[in-house]
Amino acid sequence: MPDKRISEDDVVAELRDGMTIGIGGWGSRRKPMSLVRAIARSSLRDLTIVSYGGPDVGLLCATGKVERVVYAFVSLDSIPLEPHFRVARQTGAVSTLELDEGMFLLGLQAAAWRVPFLPTRVGLGSDVVDRQPEIRTVVSPYDDGEELVAAPALRLDAALVHMHRGDAGGNGQYLNVDPYFDDLFCMAADRRFMSVEQVQETEDLRGNGPLQTLKINRLMTDGIVEAPFGAHFTECVPDYPRDEAFQKEYAGSAKSADAWVAWRTKYLDCGGHDEYRKVVGL
């Protein structure tokens, strides 16, 4: 089994301007933030971000990396609206495709199955369909002739996810109650990169929990980054909770240009993940 361990900078080197990048996790929960910060510090631009969004979306919008966001929501959970994304959305700095949570899931599944869409009743009679011409309907080929929404495949050039544990071969394990949809993000993408709290021997992963917690298998990944506290400031329970005080400080940085420059200088321009950990005190 090949050793797939790489660094955050190695991941960024695999990405290109204009790519469509899916980011796993959910809101402000288990986001691959060390990878997101590496992108934010890079020269990448004109990205399409596909996410059940949280600070990953907000931070990349605030640093001017994003052209388009495809999302079901963008929230910090304990702070309902992600403030940097709200600024980008309201000022027209980014274009969007806004999907229902279920339609978003079907889009990932369609891309994973390599089909162009999956039919659903979700969205019928709503502005999700009526105001977004990208979302089309189809007529059932069977006797009932029912009109259905064709949830479009969310094909990704690259996917970024964060798991609790992994091995050098690229297997990934979650240890909380919810795997979110990180496996679908990986299967919907051409290139897949996973950060983990700890890299362990493969046999040790089996002792951490039931077999079904090994949600990401090595066929789904092209690189693995060992990044302790790599999801900070989002939660990565049971390893650590959301850093609510830090998240509040991050949210406050959206209030003015000066506040943003101060936050960015302290926490983003400080350097890579190891330097970030020192500054934050992790």
Q: pLDDT digit string (tens) for 73-95? A: 999 999 999 999 999 999 999 99
Please, what sign has the CA dihedral across residues 37, 186, 177, 99? positive
What are the tokens at 186? Answer: 């990986």
Q: Interior CA angle at 202 toward 199 and 210, to 5°?
A: 100
Res 215: pLDDT: 93
Indicate the pLDDT class of residue 166, thresholds 50, 70 and 90: very high
Helix or strand run (H / E) with residue 55: helix 55-62
Res 207: pLDDT: 85
**Is pLDDT at 114 greater than 80 in this prediction?**
yes
Domain 8-101+154-272 sits in CATH at 3.40.1080.10
Helices 273-280 and 257-267 meet at what angle, rounded to 10?
Answer: 110
pLDDT tens across 182-211, in order? 999 999 999 999 999 999 999 999 888 888
pLDDT tens across 249-282, in order? 999 999 999 999 999 999 999 999 999 999 999 9
What pairing do the DSSP bridges indicate for beta strands 117-120 and 147-152?
Answer: antiparallel
- Where b means 16+ CB within 10 Å and e means fewer, 126-141 reads eebbeeeeebeeeeee
Q: How far apart are CA 130 and CA 209, in angstroms?
A: 45
Res 109: pLDDT: 98
Q: Are 103 and 123 in contact (CB under 8 A)?
A: yes
Res 54: pLDDT: 98
Least confident of 20-24, 38-42, 142-146: 142-146
pLDDT mean across residues, the chain:
96
**Is pLDDT at 11 greater than 90 in this prediction?**
yes
CATH 3.40.1080.10 positions along the chain are 8-101+154-272
Start-to-end CA span in the chain (Å): 32
Collapsed DSSP state (helix, strand, coil) of residue 62: helix
pLDDT tens across 101-113, in order? 999 999 999 999 9
**Is pLDDT at 1 greater than 80 in this prediction?**
no
Indicate the pLDDT class of residue 135, thresholds 50, 70 and 90: very high
